[in-house]
C-alpha cells in the first residue's frame, strides 16, 4: 500500500508553482542570452531581467534601481550586514539585532564580532516580540545598523517593524529586515514602513531555490558584494541567474496579488488544526504570538516527548514537518528561538513546526491530526518523562 504523502513544511521550502515555472522555462533554452551582452540575444534576456526587477520592486513599493538579485535570503542577509558594517566603520562599529534571527543573520553577526564589531542581540518576550525597551537602551551614536526580521520562521511571530524603523531613523541608523517569511503574508511597503534594506527569497513563496534579492534604498552606504563584473550595477558581479530572477519576480507578484485569499485560507486551516489537536491531544502548548503571526505556521510543544522522535514517526506516515530542535552530532540542541522565548527546555524538545501551504487540503489536515493522535499516544506510553510527570 502506498503511503499517503502530506507536506507541512512550507516554511522550509515550497514547490515552484506552474505560473512561475511557465515563465522560467524559456529562459533556459530559448531566451538564453547573457543579460549583459549587447546583441539581440542578450538584450532579450536583459529585458526579462529588468521586468523581473520591476515586479520585485512593485511588490514592496521600491524603485527597480533599488533591487539587487542575489542567490537567496542567506546571501542577501550576509551582504546587508557585512556590507553596511564595513562601509560605515567611520561612523561606528555597533550593530543591533535580535536573538531570534535566522542563522544567516546570527552567524554573520558572530563573524562580524570576530572582526571587531560590537553586536547586541535583543531579547524577546514569551510571544517572540523584540524588546523595544532594550532596543532604546542599546541604541547609541556608534550604532550603524539595526537588523530585525519581519516574521520568524520557527514560531511565526511578526515584529512591530514600523516602531523599530522609527526608532532607528530618529538616531540616523540604517534599518534592515529579513522579510523572507513575511512576504506574501503581510503587506510590505518599504516607503510607508520606512525600511532601508530588505531581504527576499524565492523558494519560500512558490518560486525557485537559489534566487533572492536585497532591496537597498538609494543613498545607503554599502560595500559591493562580489567583485569582477559590472552586473547588478557593479555591486554583485557575475553572470546573472536570469531564470531565477524571472522566477522570483513572478512568484512575488503572485504572492502579493493573492495575499488576502491565501492568508485567509491558511489562517482558517491553522485555526482548525489548532482547535482539533487541542481537543484531541492533552498537554500541548502553542508557541509564539497568538495574533500577530504568520497565518499558515504553528509551532506546537507536545509535552513529555521528543520532537525528533515524533518527526520520525510522522515521516513514516508520509508527513513532512520540522522540529524546533536541530539534531546535531548526536546531541539535541535546543532551538535558539524557543530558548529566547523562555520556553522550558523540556517542552522545547517536544516542539514541532507545522507550516501549511496554499495547496494544503482539509482532508490532509484531518489525516495529520489522526496520525498525530496515535503517534503522540504511542510515544507517551513509552516515555520516561510521562511516568515521571503524571501521577
Ligand atoms: C529560509 C530563510 C532564509 C534563507 O533564505 P535562502 O534563500 O534559503 O538562503 C532567511 N531568513 C528566513 C527567515 C528564512 O526563513
**Domain closes at, from 242, 257, 272:** 257
The active-site residue out of 327, 361, 363, 387 is: 327
Phi-psi region of 87 (alpha: psi -120 to 50; beta: other; left: phi over 0): alpha
pLDDT tens digits, one per residue of 205-215: 999 999 999 99
Residues 161 and 205 in one domain: yes
Residues 297 and 186 in one domain: no
In a domain? residue 244: yes
pLDDT tens digits, one per residue of 165-175: 999 999 999 99
Residues 330 and 219 in one domain: no
Residues 276 and 242 in one domain: no
For residue 74, give the ligand 1 atom closest to its CA: 9
Residue nearest to atom 14 of ligand 1 (CA): 180
Domain that holds residue 235: 18-257
Q: How far is the CA of 174 from the centre of ligand 1 (A)?
A: 21
Residue 85 maps to which CATH number? Answer: 3.40.640.10
Cα-Cα-Cα-Cα torsion 228, 229, 232, 238, nearest 10 degrees, comes to: -80
SS3 145: strand
Is-contact 211 55, C-beta < 8 A? no
Phi-psi region of 122 (alpha: psi -120 to 50; beta: other; left: phi over 0): beta
pLDDT at residue 369 above 60? Answer: yes
Residue nearest to atom 3 of ligand 1 (CA): 73
Q: Which residues pair with 300 in a beta bridge?
A: 286, 352
pLDDT at residue 108 above 70? Answer: yes
∠ CA 139-141-145, nearest 5°, is 60
Q: Give dist(CA 307, CA 326) in Å, integer.
A: 10
Residues with CB under 6 A from ligand 1: 72-74, 102, 104, 149, 153, 178, 180-181, 201, 203-204, 212
Residue nearest to atom 15 of ligand 1 (CA): 153
Residue 109 Cα to chain centre, angstroms: 17
Residue 267 maps to which CATH number? Answer: 3.90.1150.10
Q: How far is the CA of 201 from the centre of ligand 1 (A)?
A: 6
SS3 6: strand
Residue in the block written with cell 527576499: 200
Core vs surface per residue 349-371: b (16+ CB within 10 A) or e: bbbbbbbbbbebeeebbebbbeb
pLDDT at residue 387 above 90? Answer: no
Quick check: is 327 catalytic? yes
| Banded pLDDT at 391 (limits 50, 70, 90) | very low
Q: How far is the CA of 346 from the centre of ligand 1 (A)?
A: 27
In a domain? residue 1: no
Q: Give dist(CA 340, CA 359) in Å, integer.
A: 32
**Domain closes at, from 236, 257, 278:** 257
In a domain? residue 239: yes
Residues 85 and 231 in one domain: yes
Number of domains present in the structure of the chain: 2
Which three three-digit cell numbers place residue 376?
503522540
In a domain? residue 319: yes
Q: Which residues pair with 69 in a beta bridge?
A: 213
pLDDT tens digits, one per residue of 317-330: 999 999 965 554 44
pLDDT tens digits, one per residue of 330-360: 456 789 999 999 999 989 999 999 999 999 9
Beta-sheet strands, E only, within the chain: 6-7, 67-70, 94-98, 118-122, 143-147, 174-178, 197-201, 212-216, 284-287, 297-302, 319-320, 322-323, 326-328, 331-333, 351-355
For residue 104, give the ligand 1 atom closest to its CA: 10
Amino acid at each position: 500500500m502506498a503511503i499517503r504523502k502530506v507536506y507541512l513544511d512550507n516554511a522550509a521550502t515550497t514547490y515552484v508553482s506552474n505560473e512561475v515555472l511557465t515563465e522560467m522555462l524559456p529562459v533556459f533554452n530559448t531566451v538564453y542570452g547573457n543579460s549583459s551582452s549587447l546583441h539581440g540575444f542578450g538584450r532579450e534576456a536583459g529585458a526579462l531581467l529588468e521586468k523581473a526587477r520591476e515586479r520585485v520592486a512593485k511588490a514592496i513599493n521600491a524603485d527597480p534601481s533599488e533591487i539587487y538579485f542575489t542567490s537567496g535570503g542567506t546571501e542577501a542577509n550576509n551582504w546587508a550586514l557585512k556590507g553596511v558594517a564595513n562601509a560605515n566603520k567611520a561612523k561606528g562599529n555597533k550593530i543591533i539585532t535580535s536573538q531570534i534571527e535566522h542563522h544567516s543573520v546570527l552567524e554573520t553577526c558572530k563573524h562580524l564580532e570576530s572582526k571587531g564589531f560590537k553586536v547586541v542581540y535583543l531579547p524577546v518576550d514569551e510571544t517572540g516580540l523584540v524588546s523595544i525597551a532594550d532596543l532604546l537602551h542599546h541604541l547609541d551614536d556608534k550604532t550603524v545598523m539595526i537588523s530585525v526580521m519581519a516574521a520568524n520562521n520557527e514560531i511565526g511571530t511578526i515584529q512591530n517593524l514600523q516602531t523599530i524603523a522609527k526608532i532607528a531613523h530618529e538616531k540616523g541608523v540604517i534599518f534592515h529586515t529579513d522579510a523572507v517569511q513575511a512576504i506574501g503574508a503581510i503587506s510590505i511597503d518599504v516607503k510607508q514602513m520606512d525600511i532601508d534594506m530588505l531581504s527576499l527569497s524565492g523558494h519560500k513563496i512558490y518560486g525557485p531555490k537559489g534566487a533572492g534579492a536585497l532591496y537597498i534604498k538609494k543613498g545607503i552606504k554599502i560595500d559591493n558584494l562580489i567583485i569582477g563584473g559590472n552586473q547588478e550595477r557593479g555591486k554583485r558581479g557575475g553572470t546573472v541567474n536570469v531564470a531565477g530572477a524571472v522566477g522570483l519576480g513572478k512568484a512575488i507578484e503572485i504572492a502579493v496579488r493573492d495575499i488576502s485569499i491565501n492568508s485567509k485560507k491558511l489562517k482558517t486551516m491553522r485555526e482548525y488544526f489548532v482547535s482539533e489537536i487541542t481537543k484531541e491531544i492533552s498537554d500541548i502548548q502553542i508557541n509564539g504570538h497568538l495574533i500577530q503571526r504568520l497565518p499558515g505556521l504553528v509551532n506546537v510543544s507536545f509535552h513529555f516527548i521528543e520532537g525528533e522522535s515524533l518527526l520520525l514517526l510522522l515521516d513514516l506516515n508520509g508527513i513532512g514537518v520540522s522540529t524546533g530542535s536541530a539534531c546535531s552530532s548526536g546531541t539535541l540542541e535546543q532551538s535558539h528561538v524557543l530558548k529566547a522565548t523562555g520556553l522550558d527546555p523540556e517542552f522545547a524538545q517536544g516542539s514541532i513546526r507545522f507550516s501549511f501551504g496554499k495547496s494544503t487540503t482539509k482532508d490532509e489536515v484531518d489525516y495529520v491530526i489522526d496520525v498525530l493522535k496515535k503517534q503522540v499516544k504511542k510515544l507517551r506510553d513509552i516515555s520516561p518523562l510521562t511516568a515521571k510527570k503524571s501521577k
